[in-house]
């Protein structure tokens, strides 16, 4: 991820102290310690319950909307992805990272999401490789990594990729429903791009405070759905500007809202700033599934999300342009989206 309800309660959001908005330009804290709360949890099975409708469903959407405004991320449970399938993909991913480096480096791509990355001096603990945007890429990856064959890889990875696409559809529709703009799903989100990245974070000998394996960043995607193993180390910057440890939870996923969805929502929701800390002698594995706007789709807030109280915050732009900006000039800016797309005329004409 680097650069480019009711019964009881559906969404259990920890209280956030009053503080400056996490989307401000102020730099995040650098202390590696975290506070002992967790991110909100959203049970997907409840929103599909036949008995949940009317006021109950409205309350679910209201809680989710507030979560997207305050956190920019949440955990999902009862998501429908079988635990054995997730475990199989984890095993195959670890097999990939055990291959010789010269083999892994055969995975090249002009797109950041599809290439092999081995962290340098800035991120020495990080290693990652990607698959996408379609099934053919899975076959090509297999042939590069295992010229003599690995019969399980294509079958298992294809099933996981397809199920993750379906899950991202469900999550995206729920988010749009919480904003009251479900009518825009087909025209803006029905032909998205998808990338799966396998990430391994090597063990650090620093048992106490740990080391930064992946620096603080937001994702350039619309949404990212992440699965992490039991090692932990993922941290999210809260609205109170504290680093919150995301506690590993079996058979759950973390949903991160990305910069482009923040722009499309006219800043109604925020992209979550997050980082990875490694400590101890156990490596960490994560699977990140990215959903991105189509390259040819203009990213621009729909009229329903623009009014006098919410003037148009960002200029219209396209995913490839923003991707290039993040890769070439991102290091110069704390907030990539504001630097690239902030609408300087918003104060003059709020409905521009």
pLDDT tens across 300-325, in order? Answer: 999 999 999 999 999 999 999 999 99
133 pLDDT exceeds 90?
no
Higher-pLDDT residue of 234, 31:
234
Domains recognised in the chain with CATH numbers: 41-341 (2.60.120.330)
Separation of alpha carbons 246 and 243, rounded Å: 9
- Which token pair is 125? 């603990």
35 pLDDT exceeds 90?
no
- What's the pTM? 0.87
Separation of alpha carbons 96 and 146, rounded Å: 9
Report the run of H or E that residue 168 belongs to, with start and end: helix 151-179
133 upstream amide cis, omega within 30 of 0: yes
User: What phi, psi does 166 have (nearest 5°)?
Assistant: -65, -40
Mean pLDDT, residues 55-71 taken together: 89
Please check whether residue 235 is in contact with residue 31, taking contact to mean a CB–CB distance below 8 angstroms.
Answer: no
User: What phi, psi does 291 have (nearest 5°)?
Assistant: -115, 120
10 pLDDT exceeds 50?
no
- pLDDT value at residue 5: 27
pLDDT tens across 165-214, in order? Answer: 999 999 999 999 999 999 999 888 888 999 999 999 987 666 666 788 89
Rounded to a whole number of angstroms, the CA Rg of the chain reads: 20
215: left (phi over 0), alpha (psi -120 to 50) or beta: beta
- Which token pair is 48? 């599909």
Report the run of H or E that residue 28 belongs to, with start and end: none
Please check whether residue 15 is in contact with residue 21, taking contact to mean a CB–CB distance below 8 angstroms.
Answer: no
Contacts of 106 by beta carbon, 8 Å cutoff, 6+ apart: 116, 144, 145
Nearest to 289 by CA among 215, 193, 174: 193
77 burial type by CB count under 10 A (0-12 exposed, 13-18 middle, 19+ buried): middle
| DSSP per-residue letters across 89-141 | HHHHHHHHHHS-HHHHTT---SSGGGS-EE--SSSTTEEEEEE-SSHHHHHHH
Separation of alpha carbons 193 and 195, rounded Å: 7
Report the run of H or E that residue 86 belongs to, with start and end: helix 83-98
Separation of alpha carbons 117 and 126, rounded Å: 8
Angle between helices 151-179 and 83-98 (to 10 degrees): 120
32 pLDDT exceeds 80?
no
- pLDDT value at residue 31: 57
Per the prediction, the chain carries an average pLDDT of 84
Q: Where are the beta strands (DSSP E) in 161-283?
A: 193-201, 211-217, 223-228, 234-237, 243-245, 253-257, 274-278
């Amino acid at each position: 991820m680097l650069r480019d309800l009711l019964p009881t309660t559906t969404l259990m959001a920890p209280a956030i102290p009053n503080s400056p908005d996490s989307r401000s330009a102020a730099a995040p804290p650098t202390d590696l310690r975290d506070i002992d709360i967790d991110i909100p949890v959203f049970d997907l099975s409840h929103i599909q319950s036949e008995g949940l409708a009317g006021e109950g469903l409205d309350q679910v959407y209201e809680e989710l909307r507030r979560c997207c405004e305050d956190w920019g991320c949440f955990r999902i449970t009862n998501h429908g992805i079988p635990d054995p399938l997730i475990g199989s993909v984890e095993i195959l991913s670890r097999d990939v990272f055990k291959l010789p480096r010269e083999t892994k480096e055969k995975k090249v791509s002009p797109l950041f999401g599809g290439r092999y990355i081995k962290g340098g001096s800035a991120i020495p603990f990080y290693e990652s490789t990607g698959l996408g945007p379609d099934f053919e890429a899975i076959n090509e990856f297999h042939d590069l990594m295992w010229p003599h064959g690995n019969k399980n890889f294509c079958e298992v990875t294809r099933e996981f990729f397809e199920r993750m696409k379906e899950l991202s559809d469900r999550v995206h529709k729920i988010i749009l429903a919480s904003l009251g703009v479900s009518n825009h799903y087909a025209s803006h989100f029905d032909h998205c791009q998808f990338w799966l990245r396998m990430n391994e974070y090597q063990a650090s000998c620093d048992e106490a405070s740990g080391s930064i394996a992946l620096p603080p960043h937001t994702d350039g995607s619309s949404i990212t759905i992440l699965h992490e193993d039991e090692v932990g180390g993922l941290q999210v910057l809260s609205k109170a500007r504290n680093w919150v440890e995301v506690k590993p939870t079996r058979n759950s996923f973390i949903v991160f809202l990305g910069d482009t969805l923040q722009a499309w929502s006219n800043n109604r929701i925020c992209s979550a700033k997050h980082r990875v800390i490694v400590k101890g002698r156990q490596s960490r594995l994560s699977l990140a599934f990215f959903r991105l706007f189509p390259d040819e789709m203009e990213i621009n807030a729909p009229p329903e999300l623009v009014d006098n109280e919410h003037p148009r915050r960002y200029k219209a732009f396209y995913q490839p342009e923003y991707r290039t900006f993040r890769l070439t000039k991102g290091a110069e800016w704390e907030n990539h989206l504001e630097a690239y797309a902030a609408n300087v005329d918003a104060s003059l004409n709020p409905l521009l």
